[in-house]
Amino acid sequence: MGGAGGNGTEAEDQEAGVSVQETELQNAEAAEHWDLRLYVAGQTPKSVAALTNLQRFCEEHLAGKYRIEVVDLVANPQLARTDQILAIPTLVRRLPEPMRKIIGDLSNSERVLVGLDLRPRPA
């Protein structure tokens, strides 16, 4: 399976600082697919916490309907331009549209739910 770069293998993408973790779509026709990209800077505590929190969040709320791409900006700083990343860690929801961004370690579940538009903003 090709990785995030499109043309390379997953191993090549990992060497380039991009790794992809996917779950199978359980019901491709009925399921809404979530394409999430997490920008990190190496293995800092905040970056590790953000990935751990994101994985837990996705399993709880998007089980079987998501794809996480991790982009390490230490290895590939030029990739920050793609989604106009100004701070890290940053989560970018690419699908479903519209694109949304959340900055931080994703430890506040309510903020993540609202930020990803899974729950309406409190009045």
Residues 62, 56, 14: CA angle, nearest 5 degrees = 95
Q: pLDDT of 70-95, one tens digit each?
A: 999 999 999 999 889 999 999 999 99
- Residue 73 corresponds to which amino acid? L
21 forms beta bridges with 68
Rounded CA-CA distance 54/57 in Å is 5
Tell me which of 2 and 49 has the higher pLDDT.
49
Task: Give the pLDDT score at 38.
Answer: 97
Quick one: pLDDT band at residue 11, thresholds 50, 70, 90? very low
Give all domains of the chain, ordered by start, each with its CATH number.
19-115 (3.40.30.10)
Rounded CA-CA distance 47/2 in Å is 24
Q: What is the pTM for the complete model shown?
A: 0.72
**56 φ, ψ (degrees, to nearest 5):** -65, -45
